């Protein structure tokens, strides 16, 4: 017995439509979400839609060594305007990400928020909090499996806070051997930070290699 549960199966990713849509339906329980991420699949849908599962081609990724930090952001980081933590307030971070996207068809509908909170409690989803004078100024969250971090969303309440959190998170991940950051969908914002599009096949090869490492399950601690 290998522990395989056929109820967690997805279609082969090369069956995805040209826009990356692979499957419709199912649920968002922890085993299904983990099964999806291990196959390079993620959920993304808006209010009133069924659960939609995606595996786009090309895929946007950021290798830690590709990270580009704009000069203006370097100045902000050097001025120590912010302090940082990991997994101190995951729920507030994910709700901040949802609030930041309210009105634009956000995919962070209530059932998605609940599902990722469950994933955090199971030790697989993590948040980077950015603080200004003990107030949450921004944050980033995502899912970690093996040596891959699947970046999900970020938000900013104070100028440059979210970007600063992203840079600190990438550095922390790199120091601990993470070699792949999945950015999922291409945005100009992430391209400016050094993310690049690669073919889905190349992404899946990198993902398979990253998943050979053990999962870092449990609460993370930020140590600069």
Where exactly are the structural domains of the chain? 6-54, 59-210
pLDDT tens for 148-164 read 999 999 999 999 999 99
Closest listed residue to residue 81, CA positions, set 142, 137, 153 = 137
For residues 62 and 175, give the distance between their C-alpha atoms in angstroms, rounded to a whole number: 15
pLDDT of residue 2: 45
pLDDT of residue 178: 98
CATH number of 6-54: 3.30.70.3550
Closest listed residue to residue 207, CA positions, set 153, 163, 143 = 143
pLDDT tens for 127-183 read 999 999 999 999 999 999 999 999 999 999 999 999 999 999 999 999 999 999 999
pLDDT tens for 1-18 read 345 555 568 999 999 999
pLDDT tens for 77-102 read 999 999 999 999 999 999 999 987 65
pLDDT of residue 223: 80
Report the CATH fold assignment for 59-210: Aminopeptidase (3.40.630)
For residues 149 and 207, give the distance between their C-alpha atoms in angstroms, rounded to a whole number: 10
Per-position b or e across 146-174, b if 16+ CB within 10 A of its CB = bbbbbbbbbbbbbebbbbbbbbbbbebbe
Find tokens 């299904």 and name the residue.
Answer: 32
pLDDT of residue 140: 97
pLDDT of residue 84: 97
pLDDT tens for 19-68 read 999 999 999 999 999 999 999 999 999 888 999 999 999 999 999 999 99
What separation in angstroms does the CA of 59 have from each of 76, 107, 152, 173, 222?
A: 30, 18, 14, 20, 28
């Amino acid at each position: 017995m290998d522990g395989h549960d056929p109820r967690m199966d997805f279609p082969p990713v090369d069956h995805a439509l040209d826009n990356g849509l692979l499957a419709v339906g199912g649920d968002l329980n922890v085993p299904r979400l983990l099964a999806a991420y291990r196959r390079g699949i993620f959920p993304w849908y808006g209010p009133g839609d069924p659960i939609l599962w995606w595996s786009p081609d090309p895929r946007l990724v950021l290798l830690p060594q590709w990270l580009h930090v704009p000069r203006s952001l370097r100045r902000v980081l050097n001025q120590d305007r912010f302090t940082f933590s990991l997994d101190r307030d995951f729920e507030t971070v994910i709700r901040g990400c949802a609030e930041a996207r309210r009105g634009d068809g956000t995919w962070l509908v209530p059932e998605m928020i609940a599902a990722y909170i469950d994933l955090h409690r199971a030790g697989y989803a993590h948040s980077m909090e950015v603080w200004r004078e003990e107030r949450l100024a921004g944050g980033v969250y995502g899912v970690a499996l093996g040596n891959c971090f699947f970046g999900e969303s970020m938000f900013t309440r104070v100028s440059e806070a979210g970007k600063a959190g992203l840079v600190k998170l990438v550095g922390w991940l790199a120091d601990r051997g993470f070699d792949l950051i999945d950015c999922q969908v291409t945005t100009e914002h992430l391209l400016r930070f050094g993310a690049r599009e690669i073919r889905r096949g190349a992404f899946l090869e990198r993902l398979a290699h990253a998943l050979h490492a053990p999962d870092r399950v449990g609460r993370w601690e930020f140590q600069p």
